[in-house]
Amino acid sequence: MTTTSGPAYQVVNPATGDVVETFDTATDADIEAAIAGATQAYASWKDVPITERGEIVKKVAALFAERADGLAAIANEEMGKPLSEGVEEAEFCQSIFDYFATEGPTLAADQPIKTFSGGKAVVQKLPVGPLLGIMPWNFPYYQIARFAAPNLMLGNTIILKHAESVPKSALAVEQIMKDAGVPEGAYVNVFASHEQIETIISDPRIQGVSLTGSERAGAIVAAIAGKNLKKCVLELGGSDPMIVLDSDDLGEVVDNAWDFRMYNTGQACNSNKRMIVMDDLFDDFVGKLTEKALAIDSFSPLSSRRAAEALAEQVDDAVSKGATLHAGGVLSDGPDAHYTPAVLSGITKDMRAYSEELFGPVAVVYKVGSDEEALALANDTTYGLGGAVFSKDPARAEKIAQRLEVGMANVNTTAGEGAEIPFGGVKRSGFGRELGPLGMDEFVNKRMFFIAD
């Protein structure tokens, strides 16, 4: 890994392009103190009864709700998230911490094994030690919550390295942990450089790493973890299909498609980035999407000018090779990060948009002539995060959804979501799961414990 030049951690308001505040990258001494502190805290935190850990995790949940407005304001300034969506994100964090605080003792309970030779056997779920979390900017609180909540309940300790563009969000979460009573060292934020990330993962005191981010970052982190024989969980990119087979109310389906695609300014890993629509519905579907795009007077910026420019390059590449831009797709002059919501069709395999993830407000629509063609197109991707199938005949939709090569398949909804619903993918979308019962099964010692008769 190489260290980036210039101030690594800084707040740049994407609505204006103004640099608001900068933060110093951690020193090597800071990194050593974080690792030592997490190791020392683990020695006592793991022995705190899980119900008592749950009481602290409950306080974390309450503070996310109590501070929702302030957290939303920080996210709005740092990465452009609409205030209402920032409040929703903080409230979702409350639900996640509440879920694991309440269900954690049951999820982590001993599991008896039926034996055939006498004796008593159980599988225990024990913590493993200090962990590193590497989190992205697009959901600056939720991404932390789904990693931190189950692991704090298990008794693991956490070193958290957040995206360089959201340092104030990172500090706000660290303050919540402190104010809730999480012991010193059990959760610590570090403004680490790329070189220091490698140092942390390589350190024998660190027992695992979880990353949500790009394919490139995931491959680098997985290589370092593998070289050091460390468990890792990766949640990477996605180009999720949304298949529309038929509908009694196409307007409602279009509303769902548009709202989910534009959520978080189109910057969600599992949003419906490829809308695959039957030929008899295609023109009407695209027309209704276009009306929605043209009706927008103003829209939130993307997270950064660089992100907006990268998206514009992908769309421009498609248009230059014959794709149809029905609406939007206008990049501001800068230095702000605004890009008007777009509707794009006519994508072919020679275009970057066919194989690359479009991380922004672009609705891409494909025309197909049969269920099998829809399924083949849906699975023709290196990604495998989620997918959805819509039909007025649930059995028809389920038949296709069962064959999607994804980690999360949905019928007649864009996404099944909740603190209790596992999240994760296959193929180049990564491996491992967060949230729900599976969220406590990643960084855990599933120890066999046997007592002879």
Tokens of 280: 């008899």
Q: Which pLDDT tens digit goes with each residue over 93-111?
A: 999 999 999 999 999 999 9
Tell me whether residue 232 is one of the annotated catalytic residues. Answer: no
Sign (positive/negative) of CA torsion 64, 67, 68, 70? Answer: negative
| 11 neighbors 167 (Cβ within 8 angstroms) | yes
* pTM for the structure as a whole: 0.96
- pLDDT score, position 156: 98
- pLDDT score, position 7: 55
Tokens of 245: 């087979």
Give the mean pLDDT of the chain: 97
- With a cut of 80, say whether residue 1 has pLDDT above it: no
Q: Which pLDDT tens digit goes with each residue over 101-160?
A: 999 999 999 999 999 989 999 999 999 999 999 999 999 999 999 999 999 999 999 999
- pLDDT score, position 297: 85
- pLDDT score, position 373: 98
- With a cut of 50, say whether residue 2 has pLDDT above it: no
- pLDDT score, position 427: 98
Task: List phi, psi (to 5°) of 110.
Answer: -60, 140
- With a cut of 60, say whether residue 82 has pLDDT above it: yes
- With a cut of 60, say whether residue 382 has pLDDT above it: yes
Burial class (CB in 10 A: 0-12, 13-18, 19+), 85: middle
Identified catalytic residue from 235, 357, 434, 442: 235
Between CA 287 and CA 258 the distance in angstroms is 12
Percent of all residues in the chain with a pLDDT value above 90, rounded to a whole number: 97
Q: Which pLDDT tens digit goes with each residue over 278-320?
A: 999 999 999 999 999 999 988 999 999 999 999 999 999 999 9
Burial class (CB in 10 A: 0-12, 13-18, 19+), 316: middle
Tell me whether residue 235 is one of the annotated catalytic residues. Answer: yes
Q: How confident is the model at residue 220 (pLDDT cuts 50, 70, 90)?
A: very high
Q: Which residues of 140-156 are buried (b: 16+ CB within 10 A; e: fewer)?
A: bbbbbbbbbbbbbbbbb
Between CA 385 and CA 387 the distance in angstroms is 7
- With a cut of 60, say whether residue 4 has pLDDT above it: no
Looking at 321-368, list the stretches that DSSP marks H as alpha helix, in order from N- to C-terminal side: 352-355
Query: What is the mean predicted confidence (pLDDT) over 385-406?
Result: 98
| 103 neighbors 109 (Cβ within 8 angstroms) | no
Percent of all residues in the chain with a pLDDT value above 70, rounded to a whole number: 98
- pLDDT score, position 298: 86
- pLDDT score, position 8: 86
- With a cut of 50, say whether residue 5 has pLDDT above it: no
Identified catalytic residue from 164, 198, 269, 434: 269
Q: How confident is the model at residue 6 (pLDDT cuts 50, 70, 90)?
A: very low
Q: Domains of the chain (ranges plus CATH)?
A: 9-236+430-451 (3.40.605.10), 241-411 (3.40.309.10)
Q: Which pLDDT tens digit goes with each residue over 229-279?
A: 999 999 999 999 999 999 999 999 999 999 999 999 999 999 999 999 999
- pLDDT score, position 41: 98
